[in-house]
Amino acid sequence: MDYQNQYLSKSGYECLLFDVDDTLYPFSSGLSTQCTKNITEYMIQYLGIDATNASEMCLKLYKDYGTTMSGLRAIGYDFDDDHYHSLVHGRLPYQNLKPDPVLRNLLHSIPIRKVIFSNADEAHVAKVLSILGLEDCFESVICFETLNPTHKSNITDDARNSGEDGNDSALLESPIICKPFKIAFEEAFKIANINPEKTLFFDDSARNLQTAIRMGLHTMVVGSSYRAKGVDYALESIHNIREALPELWETLEKSEEVLYSREAAIETIVRA
Ligand SMILES: [Mg+2]
């Protein structure tokens, strides 16, 4: 649905940008915990990494390179992206997720366009959105494949290394483009035609939110009531979005009139 042509949100936001995992469903589902176990198993079984070091290495690579996959690639491990994702995400306890009609109704009723921005692969994002019943709530999906296409000729080394200006100083370089690297946000803005100053970004990761703030996005931490420095809003559950930000539902009078006149026109046509 093209919300932009129908409404003008009083909130001033033109776009809502959503992470998926631990944001659209709770951490308590157990998917993230199992995901970490699957990554560690993959490192041991397919990359020959010593079992005694694998867990610690998994965490360190995640901290240093944004995601463990990004870190593995950066330090020289070669593996097939699809094979990795099929074993890391493909074996998650998806049965723990349930359809979420409450969230679906909330999202559908906000008159602002919505975009997914996830580090996960396309199959995982599609499966999660499908189970939750949210697959038609978003205008587009930016995920691993979007940010890391087979041919990356449009992304120069200079752009990839843009973190050297100090904004990504806590992160090391990797050939994988993912949050919380600045380049991932820059690509997402280009791909989805996003103006960060008029966009509200929802994520459970403190690191992702910190880059988002530096990129000029408005920010909402999900899954926590603790608002780190610079974060605009906090939601323990995505279900509380209306209580936290009722202005998202408010539209300008003018656009309401436009919508009313359009509805009246449609009704006239139907009656005729
Ligand atoms: Mg997340």
Q: How far is the CA of 22 from the centre of ligand 1 (A)?
A: 5
Q: How confident is the model at residue 184, as a pLDDT?
A: 96
Flag whether pLDDT at 142 surpasses 90: yes
The strand order across the sheet containing 199-203 reads 140-142, 113-117, 15-18, 199-203, 218-222, 233-235
Same domain, 187 and 65: no
Same domain, 150 and 247: yes
What pLDDT, in 10s, does the model give residues 2-13? 444 455 778 899
Same domain, 10 and 81: no
Q: What is the mean pLDDT of residues 148-164?
A: 48
Same domain, 17 and 132: yes
Q: How far is the CA of 206 from the centre of ligand 1 (A)?
A: 10
Same domain, 173 and 82: no
Tell me if 267 is assigned to some domain: no
Same domain, 138 and 187: yes
Q: What is the mean pLDDT of residues 142-146?
A: 96
Tell me if 8 is assigned to some domain: yes
**CATH code for position 49:** 1.10.150
Q: How far is the CA of 118 from the centre of ligand 1 (A)?
A: 7
Pick from 88, 115, 130: which residue ends a domain? 88
**CATH code for position 213:** 3.40.50.1000
Tell me if 259 is assigned to some domain: no
Tell me if 272 is assigned to some domain: no
Q: How far is the CA of 57 from the centre of ligand 1 (A)?
A: 20
Q: How far is the CA of 94 from the centre of ligand 1 (A)?
A: 16
What pLDDT, in 10s, does the model give residues 194-232? 999 999 999 999 999 999 999 999 999 999 999 999 999
Q: How far is the CA of 259 from the centre of ligand 1 (A)?
A: 35
Same domain, 171 and 61: no
Q: How far is the CA of 23 from the centre of ligand 1 (A)?
A: 6
Contacts 24+ apart (CB under 8 A), 187-192: 187/142, 187/146, 187/147, 187/155, 188/17, 188/115, 188/117, 188/142, 188/147, 189/215, 191/140, 191/142, 191/146, 192/15, 192/17, 192/115, 192/117, 192/139, 192/140, 192/142
Q: How far is the CA of 82 from the centre of ligand 1 (A)?
A: 20
Range of the domain at 58: 31-88
Q: How far is the CA of 26 from the centre of ligand 1 (A)?
A: 10
Q: How far is the CA of 195 from the centre of ligand 1 (A)?
A: 22
DSSP H or E run through 147: helix 144-147
**pTM summary value:** 0.83
Tell me if 242 is assigned to some domain: yes
Q: How far is the CA of 93 from the centre of ligand 1 (A)?
A: 16
Q: How far is the CA of 204 from the centre of ligand 1 (A)?
A: 5
Tell me if 145 is assigned to some domain: yes
* Total domains present in the chain: 2
Same domain, 111 and 183: yes
